[in-house]
Structure 1
Amino acid sequence: MRLTIFQRYWIQGFMKGNLIAYTGIILKYTREHSVTDTDVAELIMMPLSFVNSVKSAYDSGITDPEDIVDQMDLDAEDLAEWKKASERRGIEAYIESTHKDKFGKLPEWVLEKIRTAPEEELQKWLDGSTDHRQLEEIFLGRDLCEQVLQLPPDIWDSDAFLKGMRRTLRIQLQEKFNDMPLWADEALHQKDHDQLVQLSRDILRSSTLEELLLREDKMERQ
């Protein structure tokens, strides 16, 4: 993936921090508790050779976890699988951190989307989201009305077009609210073209399905 120098150093620091933490765990559990090297390797999900390297460095007189990590060959073949997975997790952590700095605590649906995103999505978020004012714009995409207005007006009210709009909005609603009860599907089905366009705008600002879909008839439906 394409990383800036700052991003690369940040992610490398994240990976090194994990290794230092794992090294501390190894030294603690293999020397203070009756835990086997294999058990510790499984606990931290690292190769047994990494555990052996840590213990060997300690026995040679290097006792500080950070110093032990600094003298390791992180390009060793037995660490390749860990390195790949850790770099991915580092990229996810970087995206989470930068968006948390801008928007505050991230909701679970955003964290889940980051964890499950393909590389091309991660790259897009790494390249920058500074021009967006809402999390939904970044992680759900721009509102649907921008796409709608590019199409000829005479097809806006066709059944096929409205069905496509409803399907797209339903995906966005499911992604954002992690729920799509029957009443919400029924409410979405009742919306005409203009109402669907308005929904595509309002989804960026609404915090609940009820707020978005029910409005004036909310009390009546409850």
Structure 2
Amino acid sequence: MRWVSRAMAASVLSWLILLAGWSGSAAARDHRQNAPGAFDFYVLSLSWSPSFCASAAERGNTSRSQQAQCGGRPFAFVVHGLWPQYEHGFPGYCERPAPRLDRRIMSSMLDLMPAPGLIYSEWDKHGTCSGLGARAYFETVRKARAAVKVPAEFLDLEAPKSIAPDAIEEAFIKDNPGLSHSAIAVICDRTRLSEVRICMNKDLQFRACEEIDRRACRRDQVVLPPMRGG
């Protein structure tokens, strides 16, 4: 029994040492958690607006965000957001409460992000983690979008298009020098293209991002619904 007790004690001690080590590493990972400006790179998320609108219609979503984006204007790719990222994971809501976003800044972004609610929520969740003021953050969003050329085949889609996710990546890579397969991920739902996510460093140069790439769509084909009015 004494031998068993000593064995159990050794086992418990080992477990406690392991737990302490895990807690220490977790604390190290959390040291900058949600600290504004303390991140590794950005993800520019470009949403295929017709897919968003199709999904919203199927759900019976009549929110203001849905109405703003899915009205008569023929949107194609729109900016979902510019998201600060860690190499593993990402920060969010880095200032609570978030500094109030000036309505004039919101209005200035409607050409890229065609829903006021989206702009406000992106500022609260992601913009506050950039370490930038609201005006500088949305100027960075605009610069990031300008750094990416959307292939011509996606600019005026008049009929549904079925395409392999790899072919979407290839089209973006062909039109954007320096972009590689390790820096872009195509995201889908059960049938449709949802988003194209492109990784950039803080200087808005393309860079690899393995964790984002691992979340990419694995389907053989995805459908792009046509632009509204198409």
Normalising by the residue count of structure 1, what TM-score does the alignment of the two structures yield?
0.26
Higher CA-based Rg: 1
- Which structure is richer in relative contact order (CA contacts within 8 A, separation 6 or more)? 2
| Higher-strand-fraction structure | 2
More helix, by proportion:
1
Q: TM-score normalised to the size of structure 2?
A: 0.26
